[in-house]
């Protein structure tokens, strides 16, 4: 799928922002590693905070590969989205089974913040596989949602953990 120069510029900028935020999360985890390890549910939360931006970096990087098959890029973005949803969901299910009193609201908010936005990558890959140019819009929406989710996760791992 040949990208226009405007889409290429947009995704290049998103890739840089996502990479920077991923580094921020790694720093947040390393600074507070002892505290994170002290709470049984936080190592999983830290992993979720890395799955999102790494997945978004992967999907965004895949769309920027020059001279590739549109179908291959679309399938790879779809597969990346599936992993971005499945991995945090598995972590959360394991965490929730070990904790008492987790409310439905907490589960929904946590899913939305760590995996729910990743559904946009699945939609993007599926639309691109169908040849719909709107798949790029869904990929862009996923990148933007990921940036917001990663900032929230970094906040939890750097600030909220100290309360």
Q: What is the pLDDT of residues 31-90, one digit of tens each?
A: 999 999 998 878 988 998 899 999 999 999 999 999 889 999 999 999 999 999 999 999
At a CB cut-off of 8 Å and minimum separation 6, what does 137 contact?
Answer: none
For the chain, how big is the Rg over CA atoms in Å? Answer: 16
Given a contact cutoff of 8 angstroms between Cβ atoms, the answer to whether 25 and 157 are in contact is yes
Residue 100 has pLDDT above 70, yes or no: yes
Given a contact cutoff of 8 angstroms between Cβ atoms, the answer to whether 163 and 153 are in contact is no
Count the domains in the chain. 1
Domain that holds residue 58: 5-162
- Write b or e for each residue in 83-96: b if 16 or more Cβ atoms lie within 10 A of its Cβ, otherwise e: ebbebbbebbeebe
Q: Write down how long the chain is.
A: 163
Confidence of residue 112 (pLDDT cuts 50, 70, 90): confident
163 or 22, greater pLDDT: 22
pTM for the predicted model, two decimal places: 0.88
């Amino acid at each position: 799928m040949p990208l226009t120069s405007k889409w290429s510029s947009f995704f290049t900028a998103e890739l840089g922002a996502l990479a920077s935020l991923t580094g921020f999360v790694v720093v947040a985890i390393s600074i507070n590693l002892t505290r994170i390890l002290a709470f049984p549910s936080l190592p999983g939360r830290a992993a979720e905070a890395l799955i999102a931006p790494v997945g978004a970096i992967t999907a965004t990087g895949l769309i920027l590969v020059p001279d590739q098959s549109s179908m291959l890029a679309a399938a790879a973005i779809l597969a990346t989205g599936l992993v971005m949803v499945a991995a945090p969901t598995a972590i959360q299910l394991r965490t929730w089974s070990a904790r008492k009193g987790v409310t439905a609201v907490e589960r929904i908010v946590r899913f939305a913040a760590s995996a729910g936005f990743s559904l946009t990558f699945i939609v993007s890959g599926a639309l691109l596989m169908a040849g719909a140019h709107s798949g790029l819009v869904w990929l862009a929406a996923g990148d933007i949602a990921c940036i917001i989710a990663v900032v929230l996760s970094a906040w939890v791992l750097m600030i909220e953990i100290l309360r």
